[in-house]
Amino acid sequence: MPKNELHPEKWVDSYADYLFNYAVSRVSDSEIAKDLVQETFFAGLNSAKNYKGDAAERTWLIAILKRKVIDHYRKINSKKGKAEVRMSYVSSGDENEGDWLEERVADPFSKGGDDTLENKELGLAIQDCLSKLPKKQSLVFTMKTIQGISTEDICNELGINPSNLWVMIHRARTALMGCMNQNWF
Amino acid sequence: MKISCDKAAEICTKSQYQEASWWQVLKLKIHIFYCKNCAKFSAQNTKFTSLCESADLKTLDSSDKESMKKALEEQL
């Protein structure tokens, strides 16, 4: 079995979005998530000598990121009183009225409790498939579908014409559907 | 009124981003009516669009990525 190697110079292009989506799904704050991704890359560099090549590069980085997420929660929890139990009772002015935070957050129309969890996994599955596409295809797909940039702007930025763009989007979508087919369709 | 399967696929993909004209969409609908392959593809394509929406995907800005790259390069 060939040993995996680290290529830190390609980390940002190859894994930043995947790690970012993972982090956002865990901390629900894109600024914090961004910092965690950056810290993960630094930590990866610092411990590169410990990398044995058993795991794929991305798996290894995700493992570091998981530690970073745990550290993040430890940090914010240590700021609170240690014995304090946080009851998030939101008063709406009237003394006897109010909502528990959970009740406010919960979506009564949600089809099931697993919805958000499933969506997190779905996001990572799409990112995973996206990373297997040719670079230009995944770039065009990302700009169009995820960032919602207009066809005209994408064409200007990448110096392609609209029919090129649609061919690339079409190929990307077909490949993504094929990649996701087993689990999600 | 008749269009090829390739053309149908192209319109179908465009319509996922609301960038197909109603005339094109009409031609697509007629094509789908008699072409089972394209009907299947179209249904999958639409499902994929809703999957992408519910996944609420996020990406880092290219400026954020650039600054990450620079920070990493300094450490290398």
Domain edges within chain B? 5-75
Q: Does A45 lie at the interface with B, CB-CB under 8 angstroms?
A: yes
**Residue of A101 and A125 predicted with greater confidence:** A125
- Answer yes or no: do B68 and A37 touch at CB < 8 A: yes
pTM of the model: 0.74
- Answer yes or no: do B13 and A169 touch at CB < 8 A: yes
**pLDDT per position as a tens digit, B8-40:** 999 999 999 999 999 999 999 999 999 999 999
Average pLDDT, chain B: 91
Q: Does residue A14 have a pLDDT over 70? A: yes
Average the pLDDT over A62-67 and give the result: 92
Question: So what's the pLDDT on residue B31?
Answer: 96
A152: nearest CA in chain B? B19
Average pLDDT, chain A: 81
The 3-state secondary structure of chain B reads CCCCHHHHHHHHHHHCCCCCCHHHHHHHHHHHHHCHHHHHHHHHHHHHHHHHHHHCCCCCCHHHHHHHHHHHHHHC
Sign of the torsion formed by the C-alpha atoms of A128, A129, A132 and A135: negative
Q: Which residues of B touch A20 (CB under 8 A)?
A: 58-60
Question: So what's the pLDDT on residue A175?
Answer: 94
User: Domains of chain A by range and CATH?
Assistant: 8-81 (1.10.1740), 114-184 (1.10.10.10)
- B54 to chain A, minimum CA–CA distance in Å? 6
Of the candidates B9, B68, B75, which has its C-beta nearest A16's C-beta? B68
Question: So what's the pLDDT on residue A96?
Answer: 53
Confidence of residue B2 (pLDDT cuts 50, 70, 90): confident
